[in-house]
Structure 1
Amino acid sequence: MNLLAELSALLTPNELLQGKDIPERYYTPYAESPLAAPLAVARPDTLEKLVSTLAIAHQSACPVIPQGGFTGLAGGANPSPNSLVVAMERYCGIEEIDTAGATVTVRAGTPLSIVQAAVAEQGFTLGIDLGARDSCQIGGLIATNAGGNRAIRYGVMRDQVLGLEVILPDGTLVSSLNRMLKNNAGLDIKQLFIGSEGTLGLITRAVIKLYPALHTPVTCLLSVANAENVTALWRAARTHLPDLLSFEVMWPDFYQFMSSRMPDTPFPLPAEDSFKVLLEYASPIQTAEDLQSALTDTLGAWLESGLINDATIASNLDQARQLWHIREGLPMDNLPALLNFDVSLPIADIDPFVQRCTSQLLNTWPSVICLPFGHLGDSNLHLGISLNQETPNEAAQMAVCELVYRLIGEMGGTISAEHGIGRYKKAYLHHSRHAPEISLMQQFKQLLDPSGRMNPGCVL
């Protein structure tokens, strides 16, 4: 029997999509045009069917592309015409919330927002949150080691996972659903799969840490004169605001661009030549009213010392959402041939990198638009770069990528803070990893997937 015949015998017509029955969403990356459709899309709803699906694909030597919410920006879940997409959307649900141990056991296809809501009902919060919460899935977050907006407080996804279950490329099930904070029984195997982008196996279930539920966050927007003061403000915020949740920085060009492209959104601080810092914090003990009172005193001291130039505190959730809406930078998506960069550098080197990168871009492409923003406190910088040309020039875009990633390497940063390497950053991996590191990655890949069928072309 061939691959499709065996899969048809295993899966229902709703679980196996073929040919014209495959919706475009399975081969259309976020904010991109559709690719070629895969050979088929398998959507099993049980663990047994997932194991059998991978075993059948292994026996048929068919490439397998694991797919979660398909919200990544590095092409890590992009299928090829001869591949089998294994979509996890139907293998979803929360299996257990352990209130004594403060953990949740969840299936990989569960959207992040569903888990957030479920644990909130039990008095807990997750340590991970990001804008794609309604569509991204737990398995994909683990596979890409997502960070999001709360990393400065709770860490990245790698810090949240206690236990993991995966299916190896040949269909072998490895279940290590540990629920203890301390477990030093040999090598921590789960860490091999966190951030591996589906190249070593298919993540099926996870045990994730929980934290005490937070009261409504307090959100404020600050105006800061220069990059040095932004760094000093980060240190001060960590010292004086122990419940700090988010520390988001918008460079002057970013904020000015947004103010000119979002006429229906209130901008509470003028778009002057200064940095804007979106600061959010929340406590499991103190209410928003108590925190806001303390914040008012802190902001007053910062204003008096010259650390900040101006400040506004959101008085309700709608105003807080408006501030976050500015930070999300959605008008960038309308720029022609936009290139999104998600990189990381030591905090002290972030603004020097921005200045060097912008200068070098302008020297070659005088009409370039470069919009920097990011989390900063967790070293994460985003760059939206457009050559501002209606007709995309692929060679020029590749030159921009090489310029950015080469400079990242020279300054000791990494070409991927979130979203992984995928297919789009594979050619630039050497800017962040030395040859022995890449060789070790290749050895792990060879050990677990000697035929190279699991998400081929991704990362390595």
Structure 2
Amino acid sequence: MMASEGGAPVALNERDAVDVLLRELGNDLVVVGDAIDPRYFTAYNEVPGVRPLALIRPRTVDDVSRTLALCSRLTLPLVPQGGATGLARGAVALGGEVVLAMERFAGIEEIDTAAGTITVRAGTPLQTVQEAADEAGFTLGIDLGARGSCQIGGNIATNAGGNRAIRYGVMREQVLGLEAVLADGTVVTSLNKMLKNNAGFDLKHVFIGSEGTLGVVTRAVLKLHPKLASPATALCRVTDYDAVVKLWHRVRATLPSVISFEAMWPEFYRFVCANTPGVTAPLAADDGFVVLIECASSDAAASASDAHAALEACLGTCFEDGLIDDAALATSTRQALDMWTLREGLAIDTLPHFMNFDVSLPIGAIGVFAERCRAALVERWPHAVSVFFGHIGDSNVHIGVSLADLPVYGEDAVDRVVYEVVREMGGSISAEHGIGRLKRPYLGYSRSAAEIEVMRRMKAALDPLGILNPGKVL
């Protein structure tokens, strides 16, 4: 590693670099050696036992700025880290980097009820922001299964999606203003609260979805939405994927209060029903597709019974018109949670050598994609097990693949089979979790050479030394 002294590069060994970090940033911010908790470098890592050079835990924006400026001067690679819940290994420390963990820079700074905004620090857990919004009489437009541990900065850096995207959009649509620190320590503050602000480039979009490769998000202004009434939840069964699409269009047209529309392929539903302890499946597991629908009104005068009646009426007409074969409406919070437990499908993680894919395609093409993807996997490995499920209304489908002898072939072999079908059908290799390290070799499957070149130019302009999250995305 190189440091700059009087304009001339000076070689620094790791011990000297650590000494400089400790001297200039202090023991309160810097953790080194065996004092670094393994959770900062073991999550999703391919190389067990690899340790970062140092762990930095900032408390202020100035701490972040000083850290980046120093790492730039010493040419030390730096990995920004939030809750480490991503599935693309975008926050993984590969060894020898400085890990910048944002967890201590957390908290709600302001709720502006007139503007309908909440200003938060990057290290704040998503659930904390959701609860603050709820207490203030609002709803946050983003929700993820990892809400209790993922952080707002990471949600922004990966442009998180989640199960409310059909109602509110993905994370990008929730961000009005942003603050980020560049590789050289420059703080770019644009904590805008206005829906309309057309004064030049909207710089927040440079950092949203950039996975910490262009700057480190420190604070954000997020939109707040009218508070939702208690939701109504139902499972319904349809014959095939085309029926799923028809049902989606009917629900979208007749239930403006819909917040979730989740589809489960027959193989997925059968497996989770048989392997989820403590949950009674409300619909029999047969050859049909099962769809979870949830709706909730933002009308302050609405009640849970209103949402239940609206959903029941919608499903009644769908049944009369032959769009659905059967349905079950949750009559208690427990039943609704059971339905969501089945959809979340944690049981599939018990499959041997399980791999989870997160891709997107045009809604109408997802059914054919699933058939072609399963056929391609079975053609290569006749014993391969694959299950499909997803949000559908936002073009997102998840694929679970289990290959008993995966160590013989390696994960890359399975990646190539799945992503080749995605490429052939004009989809995206990443719907929700970004590119990170895991999907980096396949970026060209979903982005043109010209697009990737523009990304490289942006990276070179904002991080000319290449110290920010190296080995990720590009």
TM-score with structure 2 length normalisation? 0.94
Residue 295 of structure 2 is matched in structure 1 by 281
For 2:124, what is the secondary structure of its paired residue? coil
SS at match of 2:407: coil
Partner of 2:458: 444
State the number of aligned residues: 458
1:164 corresponds to 2:178 = yes
1:303 is aligned to 319
- SS where residue 37 of structure 1 aligns? coil
Quote the residue 1:434 is aligned against.
448
Give 3-state SS (helix, strand or coil) of 1:294's partner. Answer: helix
Partner of 2:21: 7
In structure 2, C-alpha distance between the alignment counterparts of 1:83 and 1:397, rounded to whole Å: 25
Residue identity matched to 1:22: I
- Counterpart amino acid of 1:336? P
- Structure 1, residues 275-332: CA drift from partner, whole Å, max 9, x if none? 0000001012121101212222221111111100110011111111111111111112
CA shift for structure 1 position 29: 2.2
User: Cα gap change, 1:8/1:396 in structure 2, threshold over 3 Å: closer, same or farther?
Assistant: closer
Name the structure 2 match of 1:369: 385
1:95 aligned residue (91, 94, 109):
109
Tell me if 1:334 matches 2:350. Answer: yes
Map residues 252-271 of structure 1 onto 2, 5 A cutoff: 252-271=266-285
**Kindly tell me: are residues 79 and 32 of structure 1, through their superposed partners in 2, closer, same or farther at Cα, counting changes over 3 Å?**
closer
Residues 1:32 and 1:240: Cα distance change in structure 2 (over 3 Å) = farther
- Kindly indicate whether the alpha-carbon contact (under 8 Å) linking 1:89 and 1:110 is maintained by their aligned counterparts in 2: yes
Greater shift after overlay, 7-16 or 104-113? 7-16
Q: In 2, distance between residues paired with 1:98 and 1:438?
A: 39
Is the counterpart of residue 404 in structure 1 residue 409 in structure 2?
no
The Cα of 1:3 is off from its aligned counterpart by 3.2
2:364 partner letter? A
Mapped partners of 1:324, 1:34: distance in 2: 34
Q: What's the offset of the Cα at 1:349?
A: 0.4
| Contact 2:45–2:89, Cα closer than 8 Å, also in 1 | no
Task: Give 1:262 shift.
Answer: 1.7
Aligned equivalent of 2:72, options 45, 58, 66: 58
CA distance in 2 between counterparts of 1:54 and 1:31 reads 24
Equivalent of 2:341 in 308, 311, 325: 325
For residue 11 of structure 1, report the CA deviation from its aligned partner.
4.2
Is the Cα–Cα contact under 8 Å of residues 222 and 276 in structure 1 kept in the other structure? Answer: yes
Asked if residue 80 in structure 1 is aligned to residue 80 in structure 2, the reply is: no
Q: Report the counterpart of residue 407 of structure 2 in structure 1.
A: 392
Alignment of 1:73-222 (within 5 A): 73-222=87-236
Which whole-Å CA distance do the structure 1 matches of 2:142 and 2:446 have between them?
25
Per the TM alignment, residue 4 of structure 1 is displaced from its structure 2 partner at its CA by: 2.1
State the distance in 1 between where 2:24 and 2:322 align: 67
User: Which amino acid is the alignment partner of residue 385 of structure 2?
Assistant: I
Q: CA deviation at 1:160?
A: 0.7
Tell me how far apart the structure 1 counterparts of residues 33 and 251 of structure 2 sit (CA, whole Å).
55
**Alignment RMSD, CA only?**
1.4
Using the TM superposition, name which of 272-281 and 255-264 deviates more: 255-264
Distance, in Å, in 1 between the alignment partners of 2:46 and 2:388 is 21
Q: Counterpart of 1:229 in structure 2: which amino acid?
A: A
Distance in 1 (CA, whole Å) between partners of 2:411 and 2:31 is 35
Deviations 1:386-444 (A, max 9, x none): 1123x622x34312111111110110100000110000100001110010000000000
Q: 2:427, 2:395 → 1: CA distance?
A: 9
Q: For 2:26 and 2:237, how far apart are their aligned partners in 1? A: 57
How far residue 30 of structure 1 moved from its aligned partner, in angstroms, is: 4.8
SS in 1 for 2:220: strand
Q: 1:19 aligns with which of 18, 22, 33?
A: 33
Matched with 1:379 is 395
> 2-side partners of 1:113 and 1:277: how far apart?
26
Letter in 1 for 2:240: N
Unaligned stretches of 5+ residues in structure 2: 1-11
In 2, Cα distance between equivalents of 1:44 and 1:258: 42
- 1:40-94 Cα shifts (integer Å, max 9, x gaps): 1100111111111111111110000000000000010011221000000000001
Q: Which stretch of the first structure deviates more once superposed, 430-439 or 262-271?
A: 262-271
Are 2:263 and 1:249 equivalent residues in the alignment?
A: yes
SS of corresponding position for 1:392:
helix
Unmatched segments (≥5 aa) in structure 1:
none
| Contact 2:238 2:244 (C-alpha < 8 Å) held by counterparts | yes
Match of 1:291 among 277, 301, 307: 307
- TM-aligned CA distance change 1:221 to 1:32, over 3 Å: farther
Distance in 1, Cα, partners of 2:203 & 2:277: 51
| Range moving further from structure 2, 75-84 or 133-142 | 75-84
Deviations along 1:137-174, one digit per CA (max 9) or x if unpaired, are 00000000001000000000111101110000011111
Question: Could you tell me how far 1:203 is from its partner in structure 2?
Answer: 0.4
Q: SS at the partner of 2:153?
A: helix
Partner Cα distance (1:440, 1:124) in 2: 38
Deviations 1:208-259 (A, max 9, x none): 0000110111110011111111000000000110101000000001001112
Deviates more, 1:292-301 or 1:443-452: 292-301
DSSP-derived class of the 1:86 partner: strand
Cα separation, partners in 2 of 1:48 and 1:27, compared to 1, 3 Å: same
Q: Which residue number corresponds to residue 68 of structure 1?
A: 82
* Maintained 8 Å contact 1:11/1:44: no
Counterpart amino acid of 2:138? Answer: F
In the TM superposition, what is the alpha-carbon distance from 1:449 to its structure 2 partner? 0.7
